[in-house]
Amino acid sequence: MHLASYSVQLQDKKVKCTLCPHLCVLAEGKQGICRVRKNEGGMLVTEIYGKACCLRFDPIEKKPLYHFYPGSVILSVGSVGCNLRCKFCQNWEISQTCAEDYPYIKPVTAEEIIKMARERQDNVGIAYTYNEPIVWFEFMLDIAKNSKDAGMKNVMVSNGYVNATPLAELIEYMDAFNIDLKAFTDDFYKRVTSARLQPVKDTILMIRKHNRHLELTHLVVTGLNDQEDQFEEMVKWIGGELGPETPLHLSRYFPNFEMENKATPLTKLLQLYELATHYLHHVYLGNVAADEGRITTCPECGANLIERIGYSTYKKGLDASGKCRKCGRIVISNI
């Protein structure tokens, strides 16, 4: 067992976890909401340090990150557990379980992961993804710290539900984030994810303040977060607080886990896409075959810079430094 960070010991061998805003107080032998941090003999431990269930090279576009080394691959690592319980979770087999109940979880060291990442020439770094990486904070941080020395970029794909102090520690070693902004009302977060909106907004603002590469994902769920007025409020906030250059990925929902609402109609997705483009320069569509939302254009002159077919990327309109070939505007800083 590996001792967990961010814990406070209480009376009667209880322990409080301060990693995420749930602030679970655990009696001896109990797990937190995330199912992977546990009170053992009055100490908080992580049950998934040095364990992974997914380890493979993915196109970076799959994270999704469209403006961070476009066209590269990234070694993607995942484990089990999550501090949210989204009723529509697309990865519930790994997110809503614990280490002892999941047969495919395997021991692996940070050194082995870094060695694997270095072996492939076109690999840009390591992505912490698939399940929520916040809940394996200690292992992620150790991999990120050690891989920095090997020249690796570190990418976190997260729900953003983390407290400010551990986030500050992570930001130091992370190069890029994709944060899932699931809705723009606290009511949605409470009813559908068992969490709250404000901590996620705080995370996003802190990442922006520290000038790390940031992209956002928003899953449009039929009947739950597809109202235009709420959506418009969200994209206005993104444009105003984070800047219109912030890439936003609108993803199509399909029924999964505990949610049976119908798949997002393509017309609805296109309608919201159109609305978002009034506030943001780079809006993309995911989980869908459509002509819209797969091309990066220059906000200055409108030229097509990057075209995508599936996960293949064609950077015809960009020069080697990420500038638009037509007007010279810098569009992609990390290329």
Binding positions for ligand SF4, rule: CB under 6 A: 17, 19-20, 22-24, 32-34, 37, 83, 135
Nearest approach, Cβ of residue 22 and ligand SF4 (Å): 4
Residue 253: closest CA among 279, 281, 227, 286: 286
| Cβ-proximal residues to 267 (8 Å cutoff; 6+ apart), any chain | none
- Closest CB to ligand SF4 among residues 37, 67: 37
Please answer whether residues 277 and 30 qualify as being in contact, where contact means their C-beta atoms are separated by less than 8 angstroms: no
Tokens of 21: 């805003």
Contact 192, 220 (CB under 8 A): no
Shortest distance in whole angstroms from residue 37 CB to ligand SF4 = 4
Q: Closest separation between CB of residue 205 and ligand SF4, Å?
A: 20
Beta-bridge partners for 51: 107
133 vs 317 by CB, closer to ligand SF4 = 133
- Per the CB < 8 A criterion, the answer to whether 55 and 105 are in contact is no
Residue nearest to ligand SF4 (CB): 32
C-beta of residue 12 within 8 angstroms of C-beta of residue 26: no
**With respect to ligand SF4, which residue has the nearer C-beta, 137 or 177?**
137
Residues with Cβ within 8 Å of residue 146, at least 6 apart in sequence: 110, 111, 114
- Distance separating alpha carbons of residues 2 and 77, to the nearest angstrom: 19
Encoded tokens for 89: 């979770």
Question: In this complex, which beta carbon is closest to ligand SF4, that of residue 165 or of residue 321?
Answer: 165
43 φ, ψ to 5°?
Answer: -115, 140
Residue with Cβ nearer ligand SF4 (33 or 259): 33
The secondary structure element, H or E, covering residue 51 is strand 51-52
Q: How far is the CB of 45 from ligand SF4 (least distance, A)?
A: 11
CB of residue 17 to ligand SF4, shortest distance in Å: 3
Rounded to the nearest whole angstrom, what is the least distance from the CB of residue 135 to ligand SF4 in the complex?
5
Comparing CB distances to ligand SF4, the nearer of 20 and 298 is 20
Our measurement of the distance from residue 307's CA atom to the centroid of its chain's CA atoms, rounded to an integer in Å, reads: 23
Nearer residue to ligand SF4 within complex by CB, 125 or 199? 199
Alpha helices in the chain (DSSP H): 92-95, 110-119, 137-149, 164-171, 186-188, 197-209, 228-237, 266-276
To ligand SF4, the closest distance from the beta carbon of 281 in angstroms equals 35
Q: Torsions phi, psi of 165, nearest 5? A: -65, -50
Beta strand 248-252 pairing with 213-220: parallel
The nearest distance, CB 133 to ligand SF4, in angstroms, is 11
Residue (59 or 78) nearer to ligand SF4, CB: 78
